[in-house]
Amino acid sequence: MEIRSPWLSVIGERLLDGVGRELDYWRVEKPDSLLVITVHRGNLILPVRSYRPGVARATLDFAGGRLKDPGLIPATAEAVVRREFGLRGDDLVASRTALNPVGWDVDSSTSNQRVYGIALELREEVVVSDDSIGAAYPATNLGGREALGDLVCVQCRAVLYEWLERNS
């Protein structure tokens, strides 16, 4: 069985295991995700909370979006940050650090999706409206640990843990 849409595909299939037993499996094919840890003026900034239908509530998450090509991580990250924080202009980024350029499997049992993470530090002179910031934490080990206490998304937490490892 296959159900295909522009956002995802669900595939049910019968497979043989190593000893010849038939097993029913289902899997989901989805585009990869990119999460962006955004640093501005010494703070980790996260966009305003967004309603998530899967958990039926608004959640605090890092800026993020779909990634069509892992070779386009820097450009995609900048586009995501522009969109989520309402920024204009071309020269926004002071530095960028790929956190996991190979990507991590989200759920290797039932999904092909991978999540990638990158940290972007915005230039000091970039103006980010307070209305577009859902939370801010000092861009320190302590501030990152505080953010972990507010994040419920396991993907966001994994990317933040990677950032903390590189910045401690």
Q: pLDDT, tens digit, for every residue of 107-143?
A: 888 888 999 999 999 999 999 999 999 999 999 999 9
- 57/111 same-domain check: yes
Question: What average pLDDT does the segment 146-165 reach?
Answer: 96
Number of domains in the chain: 2
- 52/67 same-domain check: yes
* 52, 152 contact by CB (below 8 A): no
- 56/10 same-domain check: no
Tell me which residue range forms the domain holding 7: 1-30
- 2/62 same-domain check: no
- Could you give the count of Cα atoms lying within 13 Å of 9 in the half-sphere of its Cβ? 9
Question: What average pLDDT does the segment 90-118 reach?
Answer: 93
- 120/143 same-domain check: yes
pLDDT at 111: 87
Chain segment 49-69, per-residue pLDDT in tens: 999 888 999 999 999 999 999
Give me the percent of the chain exceeding a pLDDT of 70: 100
